[in-house]
Amino acid sequence: MADIWLMRHGAYEGHRPGYHAPHEAALTVEGRAQVRRSLPLPKGITAMVTSPIPRARQTATLLSHLTGLPIVATSGLLAEWRAPSIVLGRTAATYPPAYRAWRARRLANPSLRCEDGESLTELHTRARHCAAFLRHTAGRHGPLLAVSHTLLLGVLTHLPEGPAAFATAAKTPWQFAEVRLLPATDV
């Protein structure tokens, strides 16, 4: 089995803790510098896949330019957890009551959704499909780098926890442009 490496995108416009950034938020100058500082990548990587969300796609494109590695796929399976639109662009202090109520119940009822957001069960299911996609892609292209987002990456690295992996992912720091090996037991 070929290694699968996971990378969080670089810093993006408007980032601050507890803030749900709009999907179109782009990499900042510092985000691009973080990507450059992530080099060299782990030895043996032969291809990349990326989330379609701009900050991840821009990270992968910059890496491709700097290393010559091809981007062999862009997949929605690698997209960040889909927060409900009622919280996009908001901080914790301004979350609406419906979102606060969902947050209080989400672990007890992981299938519960807040409006148009993704439930924890849906996120976990997508992460399992993503792991299979990564395994298949690495089988075709060799050792792989997947550029994605902190919550999805955290769930991918804690798949055996089920939907509760969201809570672990939310508490586990994943620095911008940080690269980690996907544990073989999780794929």
Q: What is the pLDDT of residues 39-67, one digit of tens each?
A: 999 999 999 999 999 999 999 999 999 99
- Amino acid 76 reads G
Q: What is the mean pLDDT of residues 2-27?
A: 86
Mean pLDDT of 24-49: 96
89: left (phi over 0), alpha (psi -120 to 50) or beta: left
CB-count burial class (<10 Å; 0-12, 13-18, 19+) for 71: middle
The answer on pLDDT for 187 being more than 50 is no
pLDDT at 185: 66
Give the per-residue pLDDT at 132.
97
- The model's pLDDT over 157-172, given as tens digits with 9 standing for 90+, comes to 999 999 999 999 989 8
E-assigned strands of 47-148? 47-50, 71-74, 144-148
Task: Spell out the domain ranges in the chain.
Answer: 4-186
- 116 — pLDDT class (breaks 50, 70, 90): very high
pLDDT score for 91: 82
Tell me, what's the pLDDT at 136? Answer: 97
Average pLDDT, integer, range 24-47: 95
If you average pLDDT over residues 180-184, what whole number do you get? 91
89 band by pLDDT with thresholds 50, 70 and 90 = confident
| 8 Å CB contact between 114 and 133 | no
CA distance 67 to 34: 15
Superfamily for 4-186?
Answer: Phosphoglycerate mutase-like (3.40.50.1240)
Peptide bond into 40 cis (omega under 30): yes
The pLDDT score that the predictor gives to residue 170 is 87
pLDDT at 16 over 90: no
Residue 30 Cα to chain centre, angstroms: 19
